[in-house]
């Protein structure tokens, strides 16, 4: 059986479609077709793994934000956090706040934006020993 490796951008595209936009698998497959669609089973594995790990990663992220950026709007009791439908969605939303804070701390992140958010998440999580996300 041949194994294919996908770029972070491919995985991010799938997760953004499923988690952020709540797209169906048919919509995800159609949207990913231009970049070389991974097998449906592969995309479903990424989605399931992300959902499974999200709560643990989110807990660490919230702890970091509370310690480093206590004024973050993510931490407000009636803010964005309560609007997320599930931990995976909350993780992606909180990630933007963590990245915004991190960009004020490390110059090498200055160029990171929306399309680099999962790359940053993997780097951040790896430096904290969180293990695999997908």
Q: What does each of the 134 residues of the chain score in pLDDT, given as a tens digit?
A: 445 578 888 899 999 999 999 999 999 998 877 666 789 999 999 999 999 999 999 999 999 999 999 988 888 888 777 788 899 999 999 999 999 999 999 999 999 998 899 999 999 999 999 988 88
- 2 falls within a domain: no
First to last CA, the chain: 20
Q: What is the span of the domain harbouring residue 120? A: 8-127
- 48 falls within a domain: yes
Residue 134 CA, distance from chain mean position: 10
- 71 falls within a domain: yes
- 51 falls within a domain: yes
Domains of the chain: total: 1
Tokens 């430096």, residue located: 127
- Ramachandran bin of 115, using left for φ above 0, alpha for ψ from -120 to 50, beta for the remaining angles: alpha
- 1 falls within a domain: no
């Amino acid at each position: 059986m041949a194994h294919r490796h996908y770029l972070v951008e491919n995985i991010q595209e799938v997760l953004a479609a499923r988690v952020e936009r709540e797209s169906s698998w048919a919509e995800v497959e159609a949207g990913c077709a231009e970049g070389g669609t991974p097998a449906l089973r592969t995309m479903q594995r990424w989605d399931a793994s992300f959902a499974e790990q999200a709560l643990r990663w989110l807990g660490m992220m919230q702890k970091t934000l509370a310690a480093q950026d206590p004024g973050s709007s993510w931490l407000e009791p009636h803010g964005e956090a309560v609007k997320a439908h599930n931990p995976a969605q909350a993780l992606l939303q909180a990630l933007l706040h963590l990245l915004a804070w991190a960009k004020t701390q490390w110059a090498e992140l200055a160029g990171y934006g929306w399309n680099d958010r999962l790359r940053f998440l993997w780097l951040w999580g790896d430096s904290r020993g969180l293990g695999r996300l997908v």
